[in-house]
Amino acid sequence: MKGALGEMLAACSQRFEDLKTEPLLRGLLAREATMTTYLGLGVSLPHVRAKLGRRYILALGRSRAGIDHDGTDGERSHIVIMLLADEKSRDYLQVLAAIARLVKEPELVQSLVESDSVDMLYDRLIAGLGGMQVRRVPQKQNRMNRLMIREADRVAKGAECDAILVMGDVFIGGIDTSMWTPKIKSILVTKSGADGTSAFDAFAEVIQVRSFSPQRLAQVRSAILVALTRGIISFTDRLCCIGGVQGSNQFDTVGVVDVEREFQTLLTGNADLLPDDVKPEVFERVIAVATELGVEGREGKPVGCLFVVGASAQVEKLTKPLVLNPFYGYKDEDRNILNPFMDETVKEFSTIDGAFVIQGDGVVVSAGSLIQATDSEHLLPSGLGSRHAAAAAISLATQCIAVVVSASTGQVTLFRRGVMLPLTEKKVITEG
């Protein structure tokens, strides 16, 4: 890896002659020594921040034979994406996250590894950055899709909806935007990268979510929550939603949702779903990690988990460590939940008892914390035990938002001011 990084830095310094490669290499290797930058699928993303004089330099290296890399369980790196960032680049974590998201597409990675020439690799990378190729949907299916779109438009107008929410992942590779014709403001919700695609012309807003529960209603709920926290819709809005089974290429459902009624129990007169100090992207990230844990578990086994986000000064007074805090001593940037390398770390620690305490800006303060707040006033539905009770109590005692993944049902539930809002449906978990 040291050799590969040296080569890539040399290539960069040919382009940018003022680049001081020695300290950059030292920085990259030091970063690598604290935590591996291997992302999986044969891709590594070494990165460093330094005085660069420009915001970012990105270099991509390919090795067909692969490079040995620490902390990869014997997997080799075939693609090395080196990100150099200036000390002052403020969206550093977002850039890292965007790159990490991109290389989660196995087909793209494979096509980069197999490219015959630098030009071909470059073209494929650019195509990958521009989103996936939209696949053709058979004529017959499209007739029904067009009909559903027209109906959604009519329902939206008739019911005086403020916007149409379109679940885009019904279509493999994304919705064919030429098909989208309604006059009402439309919001596309999608898991796949929409950056830079034509979706931005056809839709007023694009909400990119990282993880979805497979259930359709739960998907709509998560999407509305994200749209709310980002200020794309408001509590008084009425939405027309159009969706279908993921990857089926077929819209099959049109529904109307009154946002306020949907989230009524949670709001009761308070319009601030998110605590003041919690950044929307941090909340979204926590929901995404929680949903992934709920759906996938850890190494095939169901896991439970509790995230307490925001109001960390208040929260700290009501918590006690159950184990030595594994996040102690790391730089804020390295233990921020927005950092893509934290995903695995958080999932790894999800198996230890206790809660994650996370600051509103994303910095993980601790894991394995015992919540000492108690609340005897609110009765939780039967079947919910001490983890859910702790989440309810801490959300009542402080201005935090708590997110629980149930080990017994996989359900993700949100707590704010002691009120619970299930975000995903329960699933039946069988042992073994």
Q: Which residues bind ligand ATP (CB under 6 A)?
A: 304, 306, 353-355, 370-371, 384-388, 390, 406-408
Q: Shortest Cβ distance from residue 276 to ligand ATP (Å)? A: 24
CB of 45 or CB of 393, closer to ligand ATP? 393
Q: Shortest Cβ distance from residue 295 to ligand ATP (Å)? A: 15
CB of 163 or CB of 367, closer to ligand ATP? 367
CB of 209 or CB of 397, closer to ligand ATP? 397
CB of 102 or CB of 370, closer to ligand ATP? 370
Q: Shortest Cβ distance from residue 334 to ligand ATP (Å)? A: 24
What is the residue whose two structure tokens read 């559903």?
Answer: 148
Q: Shortest Cβ distance from residue 322 to ligand ATP (Å)? A: 7
Q: Shortest Cβ distance from residue 236 to ligand ATP (Å)? A: 34
How many residues are given for the chain? 432
Between CA 86 and CA 95, with CA 90 as vertex, the angle to 5 degrees is 85
Q: Shortest Cβ distance from residue 223 to ligand ATP (Å)? A: 25
CB of 70 or CB of 353, closer to ligand ATP? 353
CB of 189 or CB of 305, closer to ligand ATP? 305
Q: Shortest Cβ distance from residue 385 to ligand ATP (Å)? A: 3
* Residue nearest to ligand ATP as judged by C-beta position: 385
CB of 155 or CB of 380, closer to ligand ATP? 380
CB of 251 or CB of 307, closer to ligand ATP? 307
- Euclidean distance between CA atoms 303 and 190, whole angstroms: 26
Q: Shortest Cβ distance from residue 253 to ligand ATP (Å)? A: 30
CB of 134 or CB of 407, closer to ligand ATP? 407
Two structure tokens written together for 144: 């029904």
Q: Shortest Cβ distance from residue 235 to ligand ATP (Å)? A: 29
- With b for 16 or more beta-carbon neighbours within 10 A and e for fewer, the 366-382 pattern comes to bbbbebebebeeeebee
Two structure tokens written together for 359: 């600051």
- Euclidean distance between CA atoms 212 and 297, whole angstroms: 14
